[in-house]
Structure 1
Amino acid sequence: MKITSVRAVYPKYKNTIPSWRTHLWQVVVRIETDTGHTGWGFGGGGKASVEIINGHFSEILVGRQLNSTSDISEIWDYLYVESIPYGRKGIAIMALSGVDLSLYDALGKAEKKPVAKLLNPTNKQTVRCYATGPDTNWYAEMGFTAQKIPHRWTGKHSTETAVNVTEAARGALGSKAEVMLDVYMSWDTDVTVHMNTALKHVGIHWFEDVLTPDDLEELGRLRQKIHPVNMAGGEHEFTALGFAEISRNRSYDIWQPDITWCGGITAGLRIVEMAIADKTAVVPHRGGEPWGLHFIAASECEDFAELVMGTRFSEQDNLWIGSPEQENGHIQVTDAPGFGVKPNENLL
């Protein structure tokens, strides 16, 4: 089949956090083909990404063949090279991610297979999940046995806050639960070492994004100082080329590519191959979303998918109709063709 149309739209979000997400959050990508199959994808980069997809990418993609996963890989390489003058990382790769995922969705529908089975006929049927957010008791009620807690260092009082929330998570979720902290680049080396000591009695599974993604050498040194707590990161890195630098510096124990940002499934598969050679675990950022879920199910990623849950009473945009729901901390991978979801037209 041939690609006949490539379009992206920035949804009418109602519940984004006032920040860079206001204008640069996720975009919906639609690929249409001459066989009538439509592929839906999800990428980062917001309004800037829409311009790249509807302009440059659309101009050079219409008319290309889409009949195999090899075709998708070739398209990925083509778009990467063509976008080098303004790309290589950042928004261009986030745009490429959305296109890549929409291509997989269209091919899965044409082949009448879920994306996970396109990638691997013998894939995981159920994936274990962890909840990200502050509402520990709610997560425990729903059956989660792992939680990642957002934490920001704003001064010495932040130590007490971290101790209190992690102790509460340990108490609510049990002695065998994984308790993680996502500090969103708000720590430095001294704070990380200090917090590692302060939280040793809790038993933290990983610290995430303690420094910026430009501090790979220091992360590699710091990783050894906090052992056996794992150093996790990589959501702000792009393509296998970027993860090669993570590998070279031994920056993380756990790699966390975001499939909607790092270059899609095509880049994700290349990153996993590298991680296998490094004997490093891969736990995709936001892996409980449909795209990450199929990727985890079909690959050597850890059986551990992130669901950003918010709180019991928080409102969220229901953008993707058909997204599987977690049950007792697990998600069933859909057998529907493609990713098995479609966008809520009311938000487009």
Structure 2
Amino acid sequence: VYNLIGGLSRDEITFYCTTPEPAAIKALGFWGAKVPLPHSHFEGEEGLRKNVEFLAAHRAAVGPDYPLMVDCYMSLTVNYAIRLAEACKHLNIHWWEEVLSPEDNEGYREIKRACPFVKWTTGEHEYTRYGLRHLIEERNLDIIQPDVMWVGGMTELLKIAAHASAYDIPVVPHGSGPYSYQFIASQTGPAFCEYVAASPDGKSIMPVFGDLFEGEPVPVNGKLRPSSAPGFGMTLADRGVLAVVE
């Protein structure tokens, strides 16, 4: 697919990993790790303290310079997001992801003004280029993260990336395995992608789509060479599954 959308721009893609076990992921060669935030603003001061302690423990485990990101899954408020980011300044968090709903443009404007040198990201739960247009044009985000399978496919993702490039905002797709790899392979922006540790222990490398496809590529030492096979480089392991959708 990358040959149809601009050609190969890089021979290798590097990965960060979304995982509950950053130290184990670092040992596997991933350049960074993203952890889920365990406590919400409903838990008040105690929850805030526990969040800081949780992130401090992971920072201590991976060292001071290893990129550590935090996924908040649209669960915070403006004031709490600002307080949390300020409380974690000493932890060198690489970025804060989805602290608010992607529809809350005003909220993102407030947190960016309050913490201009903190990286804020979102986009996977915005499902059209029209919604992402507002996130891009406000310039309140440092990275846009649409999901190619949720936002309307590769053509729509390319339109979003073109729009974002006019505002110097990089696009790093959320998940979606090899579908995202082909996009990253064709772009001149960031040469990295997300890998979600979907294994039961959260620290083993398994195909994103399980046993659905034959030969689904997975990162090795945190890196992957884009497949040159036709299409997205995957074949259904059992074509009998097609009967379910026909």
Which TM-score bucket, shorter chain as reference?
A: 0.7 to 0.9
Distance 1:164 1:344, change over 3 A: farther
Cα distance in 1 for residues equivalent to 2:139 and 2:20 = 30
Question: Which has the higher mean CA deviation after the structures are superposed, 183-192 or 232-241?
Answer: 232-241
**Structure 1, unaligned stretches of length 5 or more?**
1-114
Amino acid corresponding to residue 193 of structure 2 in structure 1: A
Are the structure 2 counterparts of residues 311 and 203 from structure 1 closer, same or farther at C-alpha, using a change threshold of 3 Å?
farther
CA shift in 2, pair 1:148/1:173, >3 Å: same
* Alignment counterpart, residue 170 of structure 2, candidates 278, 281, 301: 281
For residues 16-31 of structure 1, the aligned pairs below 5 Å read none
CA distance in 1, matches of 2:49, 2:240: 41
CA–CA separation in structure 1 for the residues paired with 2:77 and 2:240:
39
Cα deviation code 1:286-335 (max 9, x no counterpart): 16x00001101102342221111045636973323222121221122112
In the alignment, which residue of structure 2 is the partner of 1:193? 82
1:125 alignment counterpart: 11
Partner of 1:318: 211
Change in CA separation of 1:243 and 1:198 when aligned onto 2, cut-off 3 Å: same
Flag the 1:237–1:164 CA change in 2: closer, same or farther, 3 A.
same
The C-alpha deviation readout for 1:257-301, integer Å capped at 9, x for no partner, is 1001111110111111111100112111116x0000110110234
Describe how 1:289-304 pairs up with structure 2 within 5 A: 289-304=177-192
Query: Counterparts of 2:94 and 2:240 in 1: how far apart (Å)?
Result: 37
Matched residues in 2 for 1:171 and 1:312: separation? 24
2:92 equivalent in structure 1: 203
More displaced, 327-336 or 178-187? 327-336
Contact 1:269–1:299 (8 Å) recurs in 2: no
Q: Which moved more, 1:192-201 or 1:115-124?
A: 115-124
Query: Matches of residues 68-217 of structure 1 in structure 2 within 5 Å?
Result: 115-152=1-38, 153=40, 154-155=42-43, 156-217=45-106
Q: 1:345 to 1:207 in 2, by over 3 A?
A: same
Quote how far apart the aligned CAs of 1:347 are: 8.7
SS in 1 for 2:27: helix
State yes or no: 1:254 paired with 2:143.
Answer: yes
Q: TM-score, structure 2 length as denominator?
A: 0.86
Kindly state the Cα deviation for residue 157 of structure 1 after the two structures are TM-superposed.
3.1
Deviations 1:120-142 (CA, angstroms, capped at 9, x unpaired): 23422211101102112321221
- Structure 2 vs 1, CA of residues 230 and 342 (structure 1 numbering), >3 Å: closer, same or farther? same
Q: Contact 1:207/1:232 (CA < 8 Å) preserved in 2?
A: yes
Match of 1:68 in 2: none
Partners of 1:187 and 1:286 in 2: CA distance: 22
**Alignment coverage as a number of residue pairs:** 233
CA distance in 1, matches of 2:175, 2:233: 17
After superposing the two structures, state which structure 1 stretch, 194-203 or 164-173, moved more: 164-173
Q: 1:248 to 1:224 in 2, by over 3 A?
A: same
**Secondary structure in structure 1 of the residue aligned to 2:112:** helix
Q: Greater CA radius of gyration, 1 or 2? A: 1
Query: For 1:312 and 1:337, how far apart are their aligned partners in 2?
Result: 31
Q: Which residue number in structure 2 is paired with residue 343 of structure 1?
A: 236
Cα distance change on mapping 1:304 and 1:158 into 2, 3 Å: farther
- Shifted more, 237-246 versus 277-286: the winner is 237-246
Match of 2:244 in 1: none
**Residue 231 (structure 1) aligns with:** 120
- Quick one: distance in 2 between partners of 1:323 and 1:347? 18
Q: State the TM-score, normalizing by the size of structure 1.
A: 0.62
Instruction: For residue 278 of structure 1, give the secondary structure of its aligned residue in structure 2.
Output: coil
User: For 1:240, which of 116, 129, 134 is the aligned residue?
Assistant: 129
Cα drift, residue 161 of structure 1: 3.3
Query: Any conservation in 1 of the 2:52–2:88 contact (CA below 8 Å)?
Result: yes
Equivalent residue for 1:333? Answer: 226
Supply the distance in 2 between the matched residues of 1:319 and 1:146 (Cα, whole angstroms).
27
Letter in 1 for 2:18: T
Aligned counterparts of 1:260 and 1:311: Cα–Cα separation in 2: 21
Deviations 1:118-174 (A, max 9, x none): 222342221110110211232122112301111141513332333233233333333
The answer as to 2:111 corresponding to 1:222 is: yes
Identity value in percent: 31
Structure 1 distance, partners of 2:149, 2:189, is 16
